[in-house]
């Protein structure tokens, strides 16, 4: 894997060149892309030429872009045959921003169909018989395979944190709206959030900090031990024994290193909010993909057709009620965060499942996406069958830097342990 922070420092110090970095990426892609299938479109030469003339704070580093984000010079199929060969007229706002800051857009990465459930061809670099997760499949797998040091993904349920967990990397979903969503193929406008992948926490933080212009970088820092709340949620029994052990191991290591660790039970409103997530998502998806459902239903997967049909049956008053439940839960969560710094909880039910027919479950991510709060997968632990086990840290709304600092601190402990 390639560290964005390390590469940026080496470029700045003259220890490496942009050309050398692209040669490294090209070699990894040539060796493994046929197996991994991270890309829908590869633009290695174009990115290299752009990067060689870059003077921005991203230093010409290769950036993978999920294929539900528009690109003016590359196809954007959104994971659907409906849009095969479609090239947008303009870049998504975040893509234009990344170019302006000096990134080289190395290619478009595989997304599930409209960033929902139907998997693409991407395989897990740790074991190609296992899913890389989704919907940001290619963006996560490409980092783990060494194809690029930074990538963009999106999360509506768990599409940044879960694939990061399955691929053993850092995946950061910032506070809702911190990265612009214009030019994103919308699935649910209340939930869709753009996130950043990197080898480790400092790399994802570097990418997100540079793109947002905020003081989120954590490399070179020595953060103090945070107050961590271990939260099982009402779904704890859905976690595998290994995942439960991973959370308990992370908590034990944190406490031993000086963190205050508490176990917190969420109020009942959060189980209601978990159900509200689906109501909000499905109602909005049925509207957002109305054209596709009306004109191209036969080209949609069965699971998406059924979801959109069900979404059209949701009454406006039920949608409004779900939104009010979400607002009430957000207020409750804000009050809880007065007692601790971050929440520790599973990133996924377990390690990446065997097979490519599913990208795994987002049940441990949805509530936090609905809350609009920053979330990050912290890598470092492994399962008995040599697959990554990720744990998730969740921060308070707007407290992205504090969340990243706590994740950077915890990642150091997990790496030493692992």
Q: Is 248 helix (H, G, I), strand (E, B) or coil?
A: helix
- Catalytic annotation, pick one of 37, 137, 139, 159: 159
Query: Is 256 among the residues known to form the active site?
Result: no
Q: Which helix (H) or strand (E) holds 166?
A: helix 161-167
Nearest Cα residue to 5 out of 180, 221, 156, 165: 221
Roughly what angle, to the nearest 10 degrees, separates helices 201-212 and 4-13?
A: 70
**Which residue from 22, 175, 36, 212 is spatially nearest to 106, judged by alpha carbons?**
22
The catalytic residue among 66, 108, 173, 402 is 66
Q: How far apart are CA 405 and CA 411, in angstroms?
A: 10
Is-contact 208 216, C-beta < 8 A? yes
CA–CA separation, 371 and 216 (whole Å): 20
Q: How many helices (H) and strands (E) does the chain have?
A: 14, 11
Active site residue 66: yes
Cβ distance 51 to 23 under 8 Å? no
Distance CA 178, CA 34 (A): 35
Please, what sign has the CA dihedral across residues 201, 207, 211, 214?
positive
Q: Which of 54, 135, 139, 347 is catalytic?
A: 135
Residues marked as catalytic: 66, 135, 159
């Amino acid at each position: 894997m390639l560290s964005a922070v390390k590469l940026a420092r080496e470029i700045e110090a003259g220890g490496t060149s942009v050309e050398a970095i692209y040669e490294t990426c090209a070699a990894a892609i040539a060796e493994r892309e046929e197996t991994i299938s991270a890309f829908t479109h590869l633009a290695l030469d174009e990115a290299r030429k752009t990067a060689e003339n870059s003077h921005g704070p991203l230093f010409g580093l290769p950036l993978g872009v999920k294929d539900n984000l528009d690109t003016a010079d590359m196809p954007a199929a959104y994971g659907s045959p409906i849009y095969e060969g479609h090239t947008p007229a303009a870049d998504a706002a975040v893509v234009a921003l990344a170019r302006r800051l000096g990134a080289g857009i190395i290619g478009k990465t595989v997304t599930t169909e409209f960033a929902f459930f139907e998997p693409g061809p991407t395989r897990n670099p740790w074991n190609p018989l296992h899913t890389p997760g989704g919907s940001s499949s290619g963006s996560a797998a490409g980092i783990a395979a060494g194809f690029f040091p930074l990538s963009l993904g999106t999360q509506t349920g768990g599409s940044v944190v879960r694939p990061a967990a399955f691929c053993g990397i850092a995946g950061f979903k910032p506070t809702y709206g911190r990265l612009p969503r214009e030019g994103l193929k919308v699935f649910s406008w209340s939930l869709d959030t753009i996130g950043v992948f990197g080898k480790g926490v400092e790399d994802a933080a570097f990418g997100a900090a540079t793109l947002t212009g905020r003081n989120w970088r954590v490399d070179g820092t020595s953060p103090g031990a945070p107050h961590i709340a271990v939260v099982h949620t009402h779904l704890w029994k859905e976690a595998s024994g290994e995942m439960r052990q991973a959370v308990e191991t992370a908590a034990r290591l944190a406490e031993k290193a000086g963190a205050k660790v508490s176990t917190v039970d969420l109020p009942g409103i959060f189980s209601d909010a978990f159900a509200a997530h689906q109501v909000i998502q499905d109602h909005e998806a049925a509207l957002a993909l109305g054209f596709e459902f009306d004109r191209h239903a036969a080209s949609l997967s069965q699971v998406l057709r059924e979801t959109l049909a069900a979404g059209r049956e949701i009454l406006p008053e039920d949608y409004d009620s779900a939104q009010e439940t979400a607002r009430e839960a957000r207020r409750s969560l804000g009050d809880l965060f007065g007692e601790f710094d971050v929440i520790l909880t599973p990133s996924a039910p377990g390690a990446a499942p065997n097979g490519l027919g599913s990208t795994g479950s987002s049940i441990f991510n949805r509530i936090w996406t609905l809350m609009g709060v920053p979330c990050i997968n912290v890598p470092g632990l492994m399962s008995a069958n040599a697959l990554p086990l990720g744990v998730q840290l969740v921060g308070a709304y707007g407290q992205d830097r504090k969340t990243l600092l706590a994740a950077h601190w915890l990642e150091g402990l997990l790496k030493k342990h692992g």
